[in-house]
A and B are shown apart, each in its own frame.
Chain A
C-alpha cells in the first residue's frame, strides 16, 4: 500500500469552511464516490469543520486519499487546540449542544461516514477523523 497523499487546509474562518467543502467535494468525486455519498461526506466535513472553528477556536484539516486493495476513499483529520471535549459520549448524543446549535453536528456526522473517531483531552484540543469509502 502506497503512503497516503496528505494535504492540509486551515480552518480559521467561515470562508475556510466553504473552501474545505469544495475541496472535499472535488476529492470525493476523484475517489469515485457517487453523488449521494459525496453529498453525505461533504455535509459531515462541513459539520466537523464548523465545530473546529466554533468550539476549537480554529484549526486544520488533513485530507488523505486512501486505498485498501481495490477500495478507494477519502479520510479527513480535523485538529484543533481548543478546550477539548469533556464528555465525548455526551457530545455524541443527538440534541446535545453547549453552543446553542441543534446538537446534530457530531452525532449526525457520524451517521454520514463509514469511519468516525474522536480523540480529545480537556485543555489540549480535539482530533476528529472521518472517512468514507467507495
Chain B
C-alpha cells in the first residue's frame, strides 16, 4: 500500500499530504506518525495540506486524532497550508478542528514549533540553574 512519507526536520516531523487519501492510508499515517514521534522524540508535527482539494469529516477527524495522540506523546501538531475554499467549507460543515493548531504555511508553522522548543529549553535551563545553586 502507498504510504505517506514522514520527514524529520530538526526536532519536528513534516508530513506533506499530496494525494487524495483513502481511508486505509489515513489510518496507516496515524500509526506511522506515532511510531516516529516515539522513536525520534520529536516535539512538533507539521502537516501540510496545501495539496488537499477537500477536507471532509473523515480527514478532519484524522487530523484531530493525530493532534490528540501527538499531544499525549508530548508533540504539538500544526496543520498548515489549508486552502481558503477548504476553510470556508469546513466551517459550514460544522467542523472547526478545535484541537488542532493551524498556520498559513510551513514557514509559519515552523515558527510556532520553534517557539515551543525555545520555551521548553528555557525551562530546562532554569531548572538546571536551580540544581546548580542548590548543589552549592
- Chain A: residues with CB nearer than 8 A to chain B? 14-15, 17-18, 21-22, 25, 35-36, 38-40, 42-43, 46-47, 50, 94, 101-102, 104-105, 107-109, 111-112
Contact = CB atoms under 8 A, between A and B. Distances in A.
A94 B94 CA distance: 8
B81 to A, nearest CB: 15
| Chain A residues touching B, majority SS | helix
A90 to B, nearest CB: 16
B110 to A, nearest CB: 27
Contacts of A43: 54-56, 89, 93
A25 B53 contact: yes
B63 to A, nearest CB: 12
Task: Kindly list the 5 A-B residue pairs having the minimum CB-CB distance in the complex, ordered from nearest.
Answer: A108-B93, A39-B85, A14-B23, A46-B56, A14-B22
A47 to B, nearest CB: 6
Contacts of A21: 20, 54
A36 to B, nearest CB: 5
| Chain B residues touching A, majority SS | helix
13 contacts: A14-B23, A18-B21, A35-B85, A36-B89, A38-B85, A39-B86, A39-B88, A40-B85, A46-B54, A46-B58, A105-B57, A108-B95, A111-B92
A50 B56 contact: yes
A17 B25 CA distance: 13
A108 B57 contact: yes
A112 B92 contact: yes
Nearest to B19: A18
A36 B22 CA distance: 22
Contact of A47 (B24, B53, B57, B83): B57
A14 B88 CA distance: 25
Contacts of A42: 53-54
A21 B56 CA distance: 11
Nearest to B93: A108
Contacts of A38: 85
A14 B55 CA distance: 15
Interface in B84-130: 84-86, 88-89, 92-95
Given A39-B53, A42-B53, A17 B22 contact: yes
B56 to A, nearest CB: 4
Interface in B61-99: 61, 83-86, 88-89, 92-95
Given A36-B89, A39-B83, A111-B92, 13 more contacts: A14-B24, A18-B22, A21-B54, A25-B53, A39-B85, A43-B89, A43-B93, A46-B56, A47-B56, A101-B58, A108-B92, A109-B93, A112-B92
